[in-house]
Amino acid sequence: MSDLIAAEFLKMRTTRTFWWVAGLAIALSLLVTIITLATSTFEDAGDARSLVSNMGIPGLLMIVLGVVGAAGEYRHGTITSTFLLAPDRRRVLAAKAVAYAIGGVSVGVVSAALTLAISAPWLSAQGDSLSALGLDGGDLAEIVGGAVAYLAISGVLGVAVGALVINQVTAVVAVFVLLFVVDPAVAALAHPYGKFSLQGLGTKLSGASGDNVGYDLFPLGVAALVYLGYAVALLTATAAVVTRRDVT
Amino acid sequence: MIAIESLMKRYGRTVAVDGLSFTVRRGSILGFLGPNGAGKTTTLRILLGLAEPTSGTATIDGHPYRSLPAPLGTVGAVVDTSGFHPGRRGRNHLRVIARGAGLPSTRVDEVLRLVELEGVGARRVKTYSFGMKQRLNLAGALLGDPEVLVLDEPANGLDPQGIRWLRDFLRSLAAEGRTILVSSHVLAEVSQTVDEVVVIHRGRLRANSTLTDLTRRREGEAVRVRSPQAASLAELLTVAGASVEASDGDLLRVGGVSREAVGEVAAENRVTLHELTTEQADASLEDVFLELTRDESTEAE
């Protein structure tokens, strides 16, 4: 199993896609952080929280990375050599999921570090600080942990979707439609569902205050477990399909 | 040993493989022939665990591919002409496979040398020519140093130099005692390489024998005779029960009797012979192949 995970890492590292998308994701979170710093006034813990929660922005692109990584094997035909070396396809899928989870952790750690590295000096230049705004070390650790978990699980979710749908473009479009149309619409119409929605879970996990989403959110730990539950459930379903499906 | 037994594969109402059975003996090279769409690729994909049969079995040393303990060390396969991420470097493509199979990375450089790609391993695969990609595929198949090779149309799309290289390469692999199952829709590509052939057509077995048996059984032994007394020899041979086909001047093509019998007839009747040979098998092999698969091509149009 460790060989397969190492191979998945090597696949990730040896194409430019991963570096470009991960770089773009981190750049995006930094850009939004800088815009927030430049345009907002910081008065309370909520403001500080929404600033720091920008570190969770790469979540969406981690899903895209997982999708592209898994569906890309079918697109380029490398799935054949992958299944030839590891005929137990569930192991392949599990290895890929682990690799993208770790990829998500890595992107999350970099994104968190850079977000804080920009925010802290910027605030202190204005004679302010996160702790002065009411965000203590414990809060910060919770936000970082949540964001890192969010990115890691997003990678797994992406792998599950990509391996299920196979067609890269269809899979990416499906993710966008689900994330930006279906999920928010359902959450807006049925508030009791809100905390189960991907939007609600993402908001909670990335550490945003969630005051303006219009529905209650799960506590952080529960939100992480629910999101992980989705990813694992979909991955299990995908494994059943992938194992039966002929590779042509 | 590779064993295909009563293999059947349906896609909806289409039957791709229809009760196919054959074996590849250890240490032999078997040419798996048939026109495009005959079911070769489907059969090989089932053998390699990439597709599930509707019924029947395909095994390697008694195991289905999916239950081989070390698949890459047992079977090396080339089943795609693509199969690469265009942005990945050739050497990295092999490193991924080696890593996944737990093979040492030194093997990567060894197989790159083996297929003569050592100079271009650092280049991205999208810059490779078709022939280079095929060789990279072969390198991947050889990573685990397998005893069995399964190659689906490895010569497809290669230029004449590439085909020559492949032929020599397969011969050298066979000389090492490996078992090779190689498919093709072009008989000439494999006729000089293989020991035995299996010809399929519409998913069904049409022939399974050695190359020489295949042509002998179909054609009988055709004998080429050149004689200044061709006309009288033709008469004598016809009387002896042979079928004689006279071509230009002194050349006869004799069927239904052995070369020795033709010689005897000529000697008894004091007929001078300038040439007495058995017809080259390769020439009629193409005809045999076309004959075995004829109704498919015409029906398919």
Q: CATH number for the domain including B234?
A: 3.30.70
Nearest Cα neighbor of A186 from A212, A215, A208 is A215
Place of tokens 């019924």: B55
Out of A6, A7, A81, name the one closest to residue B83 (CB).
Answer: A81
pLDDT of residue B281: 47
The predicted pLDDT at position A191 comes to 86
CB pair distance less than 8 Å for A248 and B89: no
**B58 in any annotated domain:** yes
* pLDDT confidence bin for B221, thresholds 50/70/90: low
Query: A125, A37 in Cβ contact below 8 A?
Result: no
* CB B192 within 8 Å of CB B167: yes
**C-alpha–C-alpha distance, residues B31 and B38, integer Å:** 14
Does residue B47 lie within any of the structural domains?
A: yes
Contact list, A83 vs chain B (CB under 8 Å): 49-50
> pLDDT tens-digit profile of A208-237?
877 778 888 999 999 999 999 999 999 999
Residues B21 and B68 in one domain: yes
How far is Cα B135 from Cα B155, in angstroms, rounded to an integer?
10
Nearest to B82 among A76, A85, A248 (CB): A76
| Whether residue B112 sits in one domain with residue B243 | no
User: How are beta strands B223-226 and B243-246 bridged, if at all?
Assistant: unpaired
Yes or no: say if B226 and B272 are a contact pair by the CB < 8 Å rule. no
**Is the alpha carbon torsion for B206, B209, B214, B217 positive or negative?**
negative
Q: In a 3-state reduction of DSSP, which class is residue B250?
A: coil
Same-domain pairing of B273 and B143: no
pLDDT band for position B186 (cuts 50, 70, 90): confident
Whether A246 and B97 lie within 8 Å, measured CB to CB? no
| Residue showing tokens 């977000």 | A115
Q: How far is B286 from chain A (nearest CA, A)?
A: 30
Please tell me which residue of chain B has the smallest CA distance to A82.
Answer: B97
What is the overall mean pLDDT for chain B?
87
With CA atoms as reference, the chain A residue closest to B125 would be: A15
Please name which of B166, B102, B100, B164 lies closest in space to residue B137, comparing C-alpha atoms: B166
Average pLDDT value for residue range A78-93: 94
Q: Which residues of B touch A6 (CB under 8 A)?
A: 99-100
Neighbours of B275 (CB within 10 A): 12
Judge whether residue A132 has pLDDT over 60.
Answer: yes
Residue window 96-115, chain B: list those with CB within 8 Å of chain A. Answer: 96-97, 99-102
Structural domain contains residue B283: no
Looking at the structure, do residues B133 and B240 belong to the same domain, yes or no? no
Which region holds residue A160: left if phi is over 0, alpha if psi is between -120 and 50, else beta?
alpha
The answer to whether residue B84 neighbours chain A at the CB level (below 8 Å) is: yes
A132 interface with B at CB cutoff 8 Å: no
Same domain membership, residue B241 and residue B185: no
Total number of domains in chain B = 2
Q: Mind listing the pLDDT tens digit for each residue in B68-105?
A: 989 999 999 998 777 899 999 999 999 999 999 999 99
Residue of higher predicted confidence among B215 and B144? B144
Look at the alpha carbons of B32, B36, B38, B39 in this order and tell me if their dihedral is positive or negative: positive
Specify whether the CB–CB gap between B24 and B47 falls below 8 A.
no
Q: Which two tokens stand for residue B7?
A: 């293999």
State the pLDDT at residue A25.
94
B134 and B185 co-located in one domain: yes
| Residue B66 domain-assigned (yes or no) | yes
CA-based nearest distance A2→chain B, Å: 9
Q: Is residue B39 part of a domain?
A: yes
From chain B, the residues in CB contact with A86 under 8 A are: 71, 100-101
Determine the pLDDT at residue B220.
56
| A-B contacts at Cβ under 8 angstroms | 86
Same domain, B24 and B100: yes
A173 at interface of B, judged by CB pairs closer than 8 A: no
* B contact test, residue of A2, A85, A89, A168 with most B CBs within 10 A: A85
Classify residue B183: in a domain, yes or no.
yes
Contact B89 A247 (CB under 8 A): no
Complex confidence, ipTM: 0.89
| Pair B231, B204 in one domain | no
Answer for the pair A65, A158: CB distance below 8 angstroms, yes or no: yes
Residue B268 is assigned to a structural domain of this protein:
yes
Cα nearest neighbour of B150 on chain A: A84
Which residue range(s) make up the domain with B193?
A: 2-208
Q: What one-letter code names the amino acid at B48?
A: L
Candidates B45, B96, B123, partner chain A, best to mutate (most A CBs within 10 A): B96
Tell me what the mean pLDDT of segment A60-66 comes to: 95
Average pLDDT, chain A: 93
Q: What is the pLDDT of residue B300?
A: 45
pTM of the model: 0.84
Q: How many CB atoms lie within 10 A of CB A228?
A: 17
Asked if B199 contacts B296 with a C-beta cutoff of 8 angstroms, the reply is no
Q: What CATH number is attached to the domain comprising B107?
A: 3.40.50.300
User: What backbone torsions phi and psi does residue A59 show, to the nearest 5 degrees?
Assistant: -50, -50
Same domain, residue pair B191 and B249: no
Averaged pLDDT for residues B46-67: 95
Enumerate the residues of chain A whose CB falls inside 8 A of the CB of residue B84: 76-78
Q: Which of B153, B178, B208 lies at the terminal end of a domain, its last residue?
A: B208
CA distance B34 to A203: 59
Q: Is A111 in contact with A166 (CB distance < 8 Å)?
A: no
Rounded Cα gap, residues B101 and A99, in angstroms? 16
Closest by Cα among A243, A105, A44 to A163: A243
Q: How does pLDDT run across B112-163, given as a tens digit for each residue? A: 999 999 899 999 999 999 889 999 999 999 999 999 999 998 888 788 888 8
Query: Is the domain of B39 the same as that of B152?
Result: yes
> Are B201 and B233 within one domain?
no
Task: Give strand ranges (E) for B25-156.
Answer: 29-33, 55-60, 75-78, 148-152
Q: Provide, as residue numbers in chain A, all residues whose Cβ is less than 8 Å from the Cβ of B100.
A: 3-4, 6-7, 82, 85-86
pLDDT for residue B283: 47
Residue B91 lies inside a defined structural domain of this protein: yes
Q: Give the chain B residue nearest A17 (alpha carbons).
A: B87
The answer, for B54 touching chain A at a CB cutoff of 8 Å, is no
Q: Give pLDDT, residue A214.
A: 82
What tokens does B116 get?
Answer: 């003569």
Burial status of residue A38 (CB atoms within 10 A of its CB: 0-12, 13-18, 19 or more): exposed
Q: Are residues B164 and B18 in the same domain?
A: yes
As a whole number of angstroms, the distance between CA B18 and CA B4 comes to: 12
Pairing status of strand B14-24 against strand B2-11: antiparallel
Collapsed DSSP state (helix, strand, coil) of residue B255: strand
Nearest CB partner across the interface for A10, out of B49, B86, B99: B99
**Chain A residue with minimal CA distance to B140?**
A81
d(CA A191, CA A215): 6
Report the alpha-carbon distance of residue A197 to residue A226 in Å, rounded: 10
* Under 8 Å between Cβ of B3 and B20: no
